[in-house]
């Protein structure tokens, strides 16, 4: 991939990273608020709702950190010069796929083979 394209994807990934970091901060703030408002609430229903909300906020944070880890990986591949190559077969991943999914590690063929082996349908494909 040429330097100009790489720079384009680096910008895309940095933008996603920034958006995700904001999301993580929001979630952490929401969780902190819930914990801060904890005292004085003795009603058991309220307490269980609060536990539920805290757990939800933490879980959302986890998902965001996974996304951040994926973006970090992709940025690392740009630095190493392996970005845009399928990690399974080594063929270049089509630019259109990377545009839609800048963190893609596999081309569509390998992705679908990996998915059918895992039987998981929650990995985005094109």
Contact between 89 and Zn ion by CB under 5 A: the answer reads yes
The closest alpha carbon to 92, from 109, 115, 112, 70, belongs to 109
Toward Zn ion, which CB reaches closer, 81 or 90? Answer: 90
C-beta of 97: minimal distance to Zn ion in Å? Answer: 11
Residue of the chain from 8, 10, 23, 88 that contacts Zn ion (CB under 5 A)? 88
Contact between 110 and Zn ion by CB under 5 A: the answer reads yes
Contact between 86 and Zn ion by CB under 5 A: the answer reads yes
Q: Are 98 and 106 in contact (CB under 8 A)?
A: no
Range in contact with Zn ion (rule: CB under 5 A) among 35-43, 49-57, 63-71, 110-118:
110-118
């Amino acid at each position: 991939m040429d330097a100009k394209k790489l720079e384009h994807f680096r910008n895309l990934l940095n933008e996603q990273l920034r958006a995700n970091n904001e999301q993580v901060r929001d979630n952490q703030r929401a969780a902190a608020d819930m914990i801060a408002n904890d005292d004085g609430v003795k009603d058991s229903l309220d307490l269980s709702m609060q536990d539920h909300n805290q757990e939800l906020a933490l879980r959302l944070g986890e998902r965001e950190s996974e996304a951040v880890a994926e973006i970090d990986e992709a940025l690392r591949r740009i630095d190493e010069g392996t970005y845009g190559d399928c990690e399974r077969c080594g063929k270049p991943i089509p630019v259109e796929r990377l545009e839609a999914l800048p963190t893609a590690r596999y081309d569509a063929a390998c992705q679908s083979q990996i998915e059918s082996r895992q039987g998981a349908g929650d990995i985005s494909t094109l």
